[in-house]
Structure 1
Amino acid sequence: MTAPTVSVVRPPYKVTGSRVLRAEWAKFWSLRSSWITLGVALLLLVAIGAIASATYSPDAVAGDGPPGPGGGGASDAVSLALTGLTFASLAIGVLGVLVSAGEYSTGMIRSTLAAVPRRLPVLWSKSAVFGAVALVITTVAALAAFTLGGLGLDGETIALSLGDDGVLRSLVGAGLYLGLVAVWGVALGALVRSTAGGIAILVGVLLILGGLATLLPDSWEDTVTPYLPGNAGSAVYSLHEASDSLSPGAGLAVFVGWVALTLAGAAYRLARTDA
């Protein structure tokens, strides 16, 4: 007697935004480079800030301008706590490039796009996952650096507390800036589809472009320099607004514009060209 055939009805699976988001979340945390690079960024931000505060000496600081990044004068507790932010931004940005461009170098992007034929949800999910992770982790790191730094600045005239005007805004702004750097790194990697190329652009724009702008005529330099990505980003977490820089709100708007422009370019290339 022949056994009856049992047909198995599989439930229909649909590619949704939430499922793509969960897949990118799992993919991100499964990579060893994610844990290592995030740890490096956290260590750089906290350790360098704490060391800078602990070794602070009023006699070593010159200038009469307002304190803070770009202020040209004496340091304050916030700028000391965020001394390692430039190094942390490089680590975060490099990891962002790896998150997207790394799939092109390994060929995994073909499997990813085969699973998500609409393509663009992949870019949005990568950006959202890493941007959110970087925002939370670096904001906590900035608060930790400020708290540890305050122990070394006890009794100094530049010592501040979280309740002082602008302090919490600056520290949260540092985390917000680094979260945007993370998204920007993802967008650069997806745009150029090369790890080396994406990292080179990231480093060049954040660290070198501002210095090259000083070669421009003075009238051009004063007009252009505040709107460069690195300078606009630094305005987001500055405690005191310098005369030649943007306000925190304007700096945030400009930097978001740079990130959005890069994301738009990456989305266009992803949608229009083959992997």
Structure 2
Amino acid sequence: MSTATTDAPAALPIPRTAVDSQPITLARAVKAEWIKWRSLRSTWTVLGAAVIGMLAVGLIVAYNTRHLTGNQDANDLSSSATLQGFFLGQLLIGALGVLFVSSEFSTGMIRSTFAAVPKRLPVLCAKLVVFFVVTAVAMTTITVITFVASQALIGHYRTGFSLSDPGVWRIVLGTSLYMVLVGVIGGMIGWMVRSTPGSLVSFFALLFVLPELLSLFASTGRHIAQFLPSQAGEAFAVAQPESPHLSPGAGVLVLCAWVVAGIVAAAFSLHRRDA
């Protein structure tokens, strides 16, 4: 008696769903940071306040100095007089740099960011690129507009300055460059301190408190203070900076050195510390 045997059907392969995974690149990290920037109302609010403040202060200074009097300060009659709004602008752009970084640590979003981009240096670079490009465009544009508008107001009453005058472009572009680089320093402080209040206090101390403390030590302190970010910036952004001061070229180099040192310190902090 024979028994018929039937072969069991072969198991069918389980289909696998293809996952379209794309490599992490700096360009994609920059795109992600740009989306964050666009979606945060606070970034536009602070940046808008800096833009409006620059123009408002410039027009106020122009109106108050439209007539020559004997008791006016020399700085109020210089080519950089109507750009004094940068004193307010540096505060706002510096705070913007801090908030763009520290707000993610405050909300815990930084964990999601590092989960999406495990290598932390691209995140730092992406935030830096977005912040630098946006603030550079905004501050350069409003600085030129402020200078032209305020000098046009002065021109109705007396002779003012024009962009073609010697040294004016250096002051106009130097003013915007100073605010942008100070904002970058604020951002790097945000990476290192991580707390928004602590970062803001550290930023204000570096820009304003430390120079005042050094000024208490007579000429030695003042000579040291000229190498701080605020004093170095004034060397190329102000027509008649306080003495002693660096040359405009040396001021740019010193401020850039502060920026580079901040980026290196922030990168080292990211490498050594967890989110």
Instruction: Indicate whether the TM-score tops 0.5.
Output: yes
Name 1:245's counterpart in structure 2: 245
Taking a change above 3 Å as real, the CA distance of residues 114 and 154 of structure 1, as seen in their structure-2 partners, is: same
Name 1:159's counterpart in structure 2: 160
Name 2:45's counterpart in structure 1: 36
Matched, 1:53 2:62: yes
Shift of 1:131: 1.4
In structure 2, what is the Cα distance between the partners aligned to 1:163 and 1:188? 38
Give 1 or 2 for the bigger CA radius of gyration.
2
The secondary structure found in structure 1 opposite 2:80 is helix
Matched, 1:27 2:49: no
Q: Which runs of 5+ in 2 are unaligned?
A: 1-12
Q: Deviations over 1:58-88 (max 9, x none)?
A: 226446xxxxxxxxx3433532221111111
Shift of 1:205: 1.6
Moved more, 111-120 or 242-251: 242-251
- How much is the aligned-residue C-alpha RMSD, in angstroms? 2.0
Q: Deviations over 1:72-120 (max 9, x none)?
A: x343353222111111111111111011111111000100001111101
In structure 2, what is the Cα distance between the partners aligned to 1:126 and 1:62? 43
Shift of 1:236: 2.3
Shift of 1:179: 1.3
In structure 1, what is the Cα distance between the partners aligned to 2:231 and 2:99? 24
Find runs of 4+ consecutive structure 1 residues off by over 3 angstroms. Answer: 4-8, 60-63, 155-158, 240-243
Q: Answer yes or no: is the 8 Å Cα contact 1:241–1:248 preserved in 2.
A: no
Name 1:107's counterpart in structure 2: 108
Taking a change above 3 Å as real, the CA distance of residues 106 and 254 of structure 1, as seen in their structure-2 partners, is: same
**TM-score, structure 2 as length reference:** 0.89
Matched, 1:147 2:148: yes
Q: Answer yes or no: is the 8 Å Cα contact 1:238–1:248 preserved in 2.
A: no
Q: Answer yes or no: is the 8 Å Cα contact 1:97–1:187 preserved in 2.
A: yes
Name 2:257's counterpart in structure 1: 257
Matches within 5 A, 1:112-123: 112-123=113-124
Name 1:234's counterpart in structure 2: 234
Shift of 1:222: 4.0
Q: Answer yes or no: is the 8 Å Cα contact 2:78–2:239 preserved in 1.
A: no
Moved more, 113-122 or 152-161: 152-161
Name 1:68's counterpart in structure 2: none
Q: Answer yes or no: is the 8 Å Cα contact 2:58–2:146 preserved in 1.
A: yes
Q: Deviations over 1:167-195 (max 9, x none)?
A: 11211111111111221111010110110
Shift of 1:129: 0.8
Name 2:213's counterpart in structure 1: 212
Moved more, 127-136 or 54-63: 54-63
Name 1:179's counterpart in structure 2: 180
Q: Which runs of 5+ in 1 are unaligned?
A: 64-72
The secondary structure found in structure 1 opposite 2:187 is helix
Taking a change above 3 Å as real, the CA distance of residues 154 and 186 of structure 1, as seen in their structure-2 partners, is: same
**TM-score, structure 1 as length reference:** 0.89
One-letter code aligned to 1:120: L
Aligned mate of 1:8, from 17, 28, 33? 17
Shift of 1:132: 1.4
Q: Answer yes or no: is the 8 Å Cα contact 2:211–2:228 preserved in 1.
A: yes
In structure 2, what is the Cα distance between the partners aligned to 1:141 and 1:243? 28
In structure 2, what is the Cα distance between the partners aligned to 1:217 and 1:241? 18
Q: Answer yes or no: is the 8 Å Cα contact 2:232–2:255 preserved in 1.
A: yes
Name 2:6's counterpart in structure 1: none
Shift of 1:151: 2.1
Q: Percent identity of the aligned residues?
A: 37
Moved more, 251-260 or 75-84: 75-84
Name 2:27's counterpart in structure 1: 18
Q: Answer yes or no: is the 8 Å Cα contact 1:170–1:239 preserved in 2.
A: yes
Name 1:67's counterpart in structure 2: none
Q: How many residue pairs align between the two structures?
A: 263
The secondary structure found in structure 1 opposite 2:99 is helix
Moved more, 51-60 or 246-255: 51-60
One-letter code aligned to 1:34: T
